[in-house]
């Protein structure tokens, strides 16, 4: 506690200090790009982060810098910044705060920077913290571009419940989880974790802070191989003149070998023993969700209509629908 109180929070950056450091580095006036990959959860974020970490030297030679600051031990994502801005108790100054990342980016002076953490998505509920992030990179001459992957909400809800039940100890059953999402349009966990199922509400704060033209929304397809997701991501972040073929990168096998899959038997006994009935009429059997259907529960109302998100001036990718709640 004393360590955290000893220094001012890094999101209260002194712009004059940053400008002094910029002059010391001799930063050019050309606008540079910082890609901020914000998830969402359960859209292949871990695979993307492993690929970036495994190939950071190759990417650096191609002009894309992956900062080493703010990656906690055992993680490949830049979670510590997200934890700092979201006031998450997991934040540790020693792992690198926002100020540390800004200083590293200044030293490297790369034309393109990429940060990734699915926990950035929680900041949709704290737009003032998004403003702090925007100002920090704006002050050093970088334009922030948001990368966001979305998946159909019925599929997302099922996958997220399994994750939270197995690894984060939520006490809700599948039916209770479903009813909370249908009622609130979101699920709150541990106070500061807000999983938003109404995608227009998730996207809008990012468009208001960073600009709709700087928000890239992609469709996550769970049936596609991981390699296709990684290639899609690389095609977004690699500069047009990068002398690097995507085929040169270790996209899939190397990252899997570096981080072997977790032992599923270590999941929550409650989640496995309860085997909650599936709330979706067309759910396929899996380790937790059984093929038996509880007909007394109706799945949430998903609109098959395309929502143009006129206020955001964005269109969602095909087959990703905006959740419409009664």
Enumerate the domain spans of the chain.
31-150+223-261
ω into 40 cis (within 30 of 0): yes
How open is the CA angle 142-42-111, to the nearest 5 degrees?
Answer: 15
Query: Is it the case that residue 87 has pLDDT exceeding 70?
Result: yes
Give pLDDT, residue 242: 77
Give pLDDT, residue 246: 65
Higher pLDDT, 165 or 321: 165
Give pLDDT, residue 250: 63
Region 211-222: mean pLDDT is 92
pLDDT digits (tens, 9 = 90+) for 225-264: 778 899 899 989 998 887 776 666 765 444 333 334 444 4
Q: What rounded mean pLDDT belongs to the chain?
A: 75
Give pLDDT, residue 162: 93
* pTM higher than the cut 0.75: no
Query: Where do runs of H (alpha helix) occur along the chain?
Result: 2-6, 15-25, 45-54, 56-61, 79-85, 98-108, 127-138, 153-167, 174-184, 199-210, 226-237, 253-258, 269-274
Cβ(280)–Cβ(101) below 8 Å: no
Query: Is it the case that residue 94 has pLDDT exceeding 70?
Result: yes
Q: Residue 221 — φ and ψ, nearest 5°?
A: -110, 110
pLDDT digits (tens, 9 = 90+) for 19-68: 454 444 444 446 899 999 999 999 999 999 999 999 999 999 999 999 99
Region 298-306: mean pLDDT is 36
Region 170-180: mean pLDDT is 92
Higher pLDDT, 126 or 284: 126
Instruction: Mention every residue, 6+ apart, whose C-beta is less than 8 A from residue 41.
Output: 118, 121, 160, 163, 195
Q: Residue 279's closest CA among 175, 200, 164?
A: 175
Give pLDDT, residue 129: 97
């Amino acid at each position: 506690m004393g360590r955290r109180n000893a220094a001012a929070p890094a999101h209260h950056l002194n712009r004059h200090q940053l400008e002094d450091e910029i002059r010391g580095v001799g930063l050019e006036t050309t606008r540079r790009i910082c890609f901020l990959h914000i998830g969402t959860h359960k859209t292949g974020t871990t695979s993307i982060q492993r690929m970036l970490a495994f190939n950071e030297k190759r990417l650096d030679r191609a002009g894309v810098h992956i900062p080493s600051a703010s990656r906690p031990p055992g993680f490949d994502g830049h979670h510590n910044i997200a934890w700092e801005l979201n006031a998450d108790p997991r934040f540790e100054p020693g792992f690198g705060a926002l100020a540390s990342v800004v200083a590293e980016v200044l030293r490297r002076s790369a034309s393109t920077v990429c940060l990734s953490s699915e926990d950035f998505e929680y900041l949709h509920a704290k737009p003032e913290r998004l403003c702090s992030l925007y100002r920090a990179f704006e002050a050093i001459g970088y334009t922030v571009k948001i990368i966001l992957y979305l998946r159909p909400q019925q599929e997302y809800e099922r996958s997220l419940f399994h994750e939270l039940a197995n690894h984060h100890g939520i006490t809700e059953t599948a039916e209770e989880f479903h009813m909370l999402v249908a009622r609130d349009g979101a699920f709150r966990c541990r106070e500061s974790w807000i999983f938003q199922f109404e995608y227009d509400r998730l996207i809008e704060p990012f468009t208001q802070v960073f600009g709709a033209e700087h928000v890239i929304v992609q469709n996550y397809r769970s049936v596609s191989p991981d390699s296709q997701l990684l290639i899609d991501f690389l095609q977004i972040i690699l500069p047009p003149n990068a002398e690097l073929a995507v085929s040169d990168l270790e996209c899939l096998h190397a990252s899997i070998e570096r981080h072997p899959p977790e032992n599923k038997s270590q999941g929550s006994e409650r989640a496995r023993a309860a085997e909650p009935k599936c709330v979706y009429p067309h759910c396929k059997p899996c380790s937790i969700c059984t093929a038996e259907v509880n007909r007394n529960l109706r799945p949430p109302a998903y609109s098959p209509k395309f929502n143009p998100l006129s206020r955001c001036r964005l269109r969602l990718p095909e087959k990703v629908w905006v959740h419409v709640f009664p």
